[in-house]
Amino acid sequence: MIVWLTGLPCSGKTTLGLALIERLRGMGRKAEFLDGDVVRRELWRDLGFTKADREENIRRLGAVAELLGRNGVITVVCVVSPYRASRDNVRSRSTRFLEVYVNAPLAVCEKRDVKGMYHKARAGELPGFTGIDDPYEPPLAAEVECRTDIESIEESTSKILEQVQAALGDTGTAAAMKG
C-alpha cells in the first residue's frame, strides 16, 4: 500500500512520515520511507521545479512506491506534490492508496522553516516556490487530514494508522496501532 503525505513545505510531512514508519516497523510491518527531498537529491537530480519536472517527480515516486507495494511493503511517501492531478494519477495506478493531507497554515509553515526557503521565496531569490508564487492544490477528499498546527505528532500518526489498518483489513493489530 502507498501512504502519500502531501502538504506545503514545512507542514510536517517528514516528521509524521518518520513517526509512522517507526510505528509500522515496531508492529513488524515491512515499511519504506520515501522523502521527496532525499529522492530528488539522490535519484533524480535531472529534475528542476518547473510544473513538468514536478509532475515527473511525482510520477517516478509513484512508480517506485507501487513497485514496493506490490512486494508487500507499506510505502510512506512524503512530498509536497502540489498538483492534485499528479496525485490523482498515482492513485489511479495504485492498488491501495491512502492520501494524507498534512495541513498547516502558511504562516505556521513559514515559522517552522529552518532552511529559510520561504524568506528567500518572498525576496524573489527562490522563484516558483510552492505556496508563495506557485500553487498548492489541497486534496479534495483525502482519506486523512492531519492538522499539524493543532494536533500532536502522536494524534496525527494514530489517525493515519487507523486508516492503514482499515485499508489493509488488519484487525489483529488494533491494540498495537493504538500505542
Single-letter amino acid, residue 159: K
Among the listed residues 11, 81, 86, 94, the single catalytic one is 81
In this structure, what C-alpha cell is assigned to residue 109? 509553515
3-state secondary structure labels for all residues of the chain: CEEEEECCCCCCHHHHHHHHHHHHHHCCCCEEEEEHHHHHHHCCCCCCCCHHHHHHHHHHHHHHHHHHHHCCCEEEEECCCCCHHHHHHHHHHCCCEEEEEEECCHHHHHHHCCCCHHHHHHCCCCCCCECCCECCCCCCCCCEEEECCCCCHHHHHHHHHHHHHHHHCCCCCHHHHHC
11 given a catalytic annotation: no
Annotated catalytic residues are 81
